[in-house]
Amino acid sequence: MSAKKQPARRKQADRREESRERILDAAEELLAGRGYDGVTMREIGKAAGADTSLVHYYFDNKAGLFNAVIARRAGVVNDAREAALDAYAAAHKGNMTAQGVLRAYLEPTFSFMMSGEPGYLNYGALIAKLNSTAMGGDVDTTHTPFDPVVERLVNLLNEVRPEVSRADLYWYYHFVSGAISLSLAQTGRIDVLSGGLCRSDDFATILDRMVRVLGQGFEALAT
């Protein structure tokens, strides 16, 4: 019998994974709402139906838990972005547009937000908070896994309009990033400002308008 070790540990391994994820889900939701310093380990434990000690057992300390919350989804989102950019580049070799590249970059993110999984909504809000936090703290805000896909985005935009300077390409990404970030934050402020005309959770509309506005805006950088 070759399948001896795998099914043997099944029960306890599942238990472990289930507890870990329950804690991560609770932490994700609470951290999205009130941020790193606004949430206590006790709250997270209680929300997860686990003792505080168990949280420490699985994630060492608060910073470890935070980083685990980010790491759980960062890779998935990042891979989806990279795959979408690759697919677009392969399908439109020679006739790429700024709108096309931008849509390819944005679409995966907004798909996750519209997937119905509340975890991604919380994760988005948490990322938005992280994006307005200066680098170099307790917590890993470097987003190192995101760097290569940003580089890929910039390189594709460079292919679309080679006359745009490298610095301007990064500034352009900066503006795109700001618009994404505020959208993911889902503060409900645009809902109030617009008197209900716009809704923070209308990600389909946000994606469409963002592609149009910022796709068109890219042309302004081509001298």
Cβ atoms of 102 and 151 closer than 8 Å: no
Binding partner of 86, given DNA, its own copies, none, CB within 5-8 angstroms per partner class: none
Q: Smaller CB distance to DNA: residue 13 or 91?
A: 13
What are the b/e assignments for 44-70, b being 16+ CB within 10 Å? Answer: bbebbebeeebbeeebeebeebbbbbb
Eight-state DSSP code of residue 98: H
Q: Tell me: does residue 139 bind DNA (CB under 7 A).
A: no
Q: Tell me: does residue 134 bind its own copies (CB under 8 A).
A: yes
Query: Can you tell me which of 35, 56, 97, 143 binds DNA, judged by CB under 7 A?
Result: 56
Q: Tell me: does residue 6 bind DNA (CB under 7 A).
A: no
Distance CA 101, CA 86 (A): 10
Binding partner of 10, given DNA, its own copies, none, CB within 5-8 angstroms per partner class: DNA
Eight-state DSSP code of residue 61: S
| Cβ within 8 Å of residue 91, ≥6 positions away | none
> In which element (H, E) is residue 21 found?
helix 10-34
Tell me what percent of the chain is helix, strand and coil, each rounded to the nearest 5.
75, 0, 25
* Per-residue binding letters, 50-89, with its own copies (x by CB under 8 A): ----------------------------------------
Q: Smaller CB distance to DNA: residue 6 or 95?
A: 6
Q: Smaller CB distance to its own copies: residue 19 or 155?
A: 155
Give the chain's radius of gyration (CA, Å). 20
Q: Smaller CB distance to its own copies: residue 3 or 134?
A: 134
Query: Can you tell me which of 25, 52, 173, 208 binds DNA, judged by CB under 7 A?
Result: 52
Binding partner of 87, given its own copies, DNA, none, CB within 5-8 angstroms per partner class: none
Cβ atoms of 128 and 76 closer than 8 Å: no
Q: Tell me: does residue 53 bind DNA (CB under 7 A).
A: yes
Binding-site ranges for its own copies (CB under 8 A)? 33-38, 125, 128-129, 131-137, 141-143, 147, 150, 166-168, 170-175, 177-183, 185-190, 192-194, 197-198, 205-206, 209-210, 212-221
